[in-house]
């Protein structure tokens, strides 16, 4: 069987981000399963979810082969999309 085609730099970085996201989510889950930690730090634990969502969206941007405007429009996190539009001058 032939080796898979190498990823582009953006694709490889997106894969790295997805691996980080999975690890972050697993860590957050372990912390959430501890009732003492959950009760004391529920708000902070929600931050893990926001970080994971942001990482997933960033990976999606890196993987996108669409034009920048289409890529930005596909970002589901409104605040992130707005920051990137402002930073890039898109739209």
The pLDDT tens digits for 26-72 are: 999 999 999 999 999 999 999 999 999 999 999 999 999 999 999 99
Nearest residue to 17 (alpha-carbon basis) of 3, 7, 4: 7
Q: What pLDDT is stored for residue 84 in this prediction?
A: 96
Q: Which of 8, 53, 4 is nearest to 28 (CA)?
A: 53
Instruction: Please name the residue ranges forming H helices in the chain.
Output: 9-32, 35-63, 68-73, 78-88
**The whole model's pTM is what?**
0.86
């Amino acid at each position: 069987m032939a080796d898979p085609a190498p990823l582009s730099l953006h694709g490889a970085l997106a894969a790295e981000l997805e691996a980080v996201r999975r690890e972050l989510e697993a860590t957050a889950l372990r912390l959430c399963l501890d009732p003492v930690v959950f009760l004391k730090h529920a708000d902070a634990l929600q931050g893990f979810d926001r970080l994971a969502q942001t990482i997933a969206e960033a990976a999606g941007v890196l993987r996108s082969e669409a034009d920048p405007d289409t890529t930005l429009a596909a970002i589901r996190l409104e605040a992130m999309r707005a920051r990137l539009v402002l930073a890039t001058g898109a739209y």
